[in-house]
Amino acid sequence: MQRILVVDDEPDVDFALKKVLEGYGFEVDSFDDPILALEHFRDNNLYDLLILDIKMSRMNGINLYRELRKINPKAKVCFLTAGEIYPRTPTTILCDLDENRFIQKPIDNEELLKRVNAII
């Protein structure tokens, strides 16, 4: 079974993504606190995909991804955003990511599954 880590500081979004992805047969751990997600990842980093919200209060998704990659450099990611679909951020961490790695909220369940399967 493929494992996905979802981190979004909006509990409703976490819950919805978890339920949808579990309905498609994925094992999903979700966190609404990026710091707790990072602590969890230190001991449990065998995920097939990380789905991270970009804008979060305690730590943004890009900084969280940087920290997660220090633990597991091969971690695959997909970013959630309520704003611009493909941030033009001048950071090497995002340079290798195509626009399919950015999901604009809200997303249709079928489109979410399509994106997840394309990355995994």
pTM of the model: 0.86
In the chain, which ranges are E strands?
3-7, 27-31, 49-53, 77-81, 102-104
pLDDT in tens, the chain (120 residues): 999 999 999 999 999 999 999 999 999 999 999 999 999 999 988 899 999 998 898 899 989 999 999 999 998 999 988 765 444 554 444 545 555 677 778 888 998 899 899 888
Cis preceding-peptide flag for 106 (omega within 30 of 0)? yes
Domains defined for the chain, CATH in brackets: 3-119 (3.40.50.2300)
At 96 the pLDDT is: 52
Which single residue is written with the structure tokens 């970013």?
79
Q: Which two tokens stand for residue 35?
A: 């710091």
